[in-house]
A and B are shown apart, each in its own frame.
Chain A
Amino acid sequence: MKKLLCLLLALIPIVGFATTVTASVNRNTLDMADRLEYSLQIKSESRIDISEPAPPQIENFSFVNMRSKTSSSTVIRNFKSQSEHIITYIYYYIPQGPGSSKIPAQDIRVGTKVYTTHEIELIVVDSGSGARGQNAPGISPGFDFDDPDLAWSANRLAGETVILAYPPRQQVYRGQPAIISYYLYTDQMVRSFNLEDEQDFPGYGKSIYDQPNTLNYETVTYQGKRFQRALVKRLMLLPNATGEMQAPILSGRARIYEFGYLNQRVRSEAAWLEVLPLPQVNVPPSFTGAVGTFEVSDDLSADKVSLGEAITYSLRISGTGNFNQFTHPDMPVTQAQMTAPMAIDRLNAGVEGSRTLHYTIIPSERGSFILPSLSFSWFDPSTGRYQTFHSQEREIEVKSANVISYFSGLLETGNPQSLRPMLSRNSYPQQSNFLRSFWYWLAVALIFASTGFSAYLAWLKHKARNNPEDYARIMADKALKKYLSEASEAVKSLSEDFYSLAENGLLKYLSDKYGISSRLSVAEKLDKLEDKNLAKTTLEETRAFIGICEEQRFSPQKRGADKILEDYQRLRRIVNLYSKKGVKR
Chain B
Amino acid sequence: MKKLLGLSLMLLTLCGILQASEFDRLRMMEERGVQNADLYYNLGVTYWQIGQSGMANLYFLKALNLDSAHKLAKENLNYAISLSADRELYPPKPFLLRLFYEIYDFMNLNRIASLSLLLLLLTAATFSWLLHYDPSKERELPTLVFGISLFLLLSSVVFLSIKAYRRAHNPKAVLLQSEANLRSEADPEAQRVAVIHEAIIMDVLRDEGEWSLVRLPDGSSGWLKSDAIGRVIGP
Contact = CB atoms under 8 A, between A and B. Distances in A.
B66 to A, nearest CB: 5
Nearest to B37: A431
A428 B39 contact: yes
Interface string A513-557: 000000000000000000000000000000000000000000000
B45 A420 contact: yes
A260 interface: no
B95 to A, nearest CB: 5
Contact of B164 (A407, A417, A429, A435): A435
A440 interface: yes
Nearest to A459: B131
A432 B109 CA distance: 10
A411 B80 CA distance: 17
A420 B75 contact: yes
Interface stretch (B3-11, B28-36, B188-196, B214-222): B28-36
A434 B74 CA distance: 22
B42 A422 contact: yes
Interface residues of A, number: 38
A420 B49 CA distance: 11
Interface string B76-99: 101110110100000000011011
A432 B41 CA distance: 16
Interface residues of B, number: 46
Interface stretch (A17-25, A329-337, A444-452): A444-452
A346 B42 contact: no
Interface in B98-147: 98-99, 102, 109-110, 113-114, 117, 120-121, 124, 127-128, 131-132, 135
Given A415-B79, A419-B79, A435-B109, A451 B45 contact: no
Contacts of B98: 411
Q: Among B66, B80, B82, B160, which residue has the most Cβ atoms of chain A within 10 A?
A: B82
A484 to B, nearest CB: 30
Given A447-B124, A450-B124, A434 B114 contact: yes
A415 B117 contact: no
A422 B46 contact: yes
A432 B45 CA distance: 23
Contacts of A430: 34-36
A408 interface: yes
A420 B36 contact: no
A162 B102 CA distance: 63
Nearest to B74: A414
Contacts of A444: 117, 120
Given A428-B29, A444-B120, A451-B128, A423 B42 contact: yes
- Mostly, the B contact residues are helix
Contacts of A435: 109, 113, 160, 164
Interface in B157-184: 160, 164
Contacts of B67: 431
B78 A458 contact: no
Given A430-B34, A434-B113, A440-B113, A419 B76 contact: yes
B48 interface: yes
Contact of A443 (B36, B48, B117): B117
A462 B164 CA distance: 41
A223 interface: no
Contacts of B127: 451, 454-455
A560 to B, nearest CB: 49
Nearest to A449: B124
Contacts of A417: 79
Given A344-B82, A454-B128, A454-B131, A431 B36 contact: yes
Given A420-B72, A440-B117, A454-B128, A465 B35 contact: no
A581 interface: no
A458 B132 contact: yes
A111 interface: no
A418 interface: yes
B185 interface: no
B38 interface: yes
Given A428-B36, A444-B117, A422 B132 contact: no
Contacts of B99: 407, 411
Given A344-B82, A423-B38, A447-B117, 13 more contacts: A404-B95, A415-B82, A419-B80, A420-B75, A420-B76, A423-B42, A429-B34, A431-B67, A433-B110, A434-B109, A435-B113, A443-B117, A451-B124
8 contacts: A416-B76, A419-B48, A420-B45, A420-B72, A421-B45, A422-B42, A451-B127, A454-B128
Q: Shortest 3 CB-CB distances between A and B: which pairs?
A: A458-B131, A454-B128, A434-B113
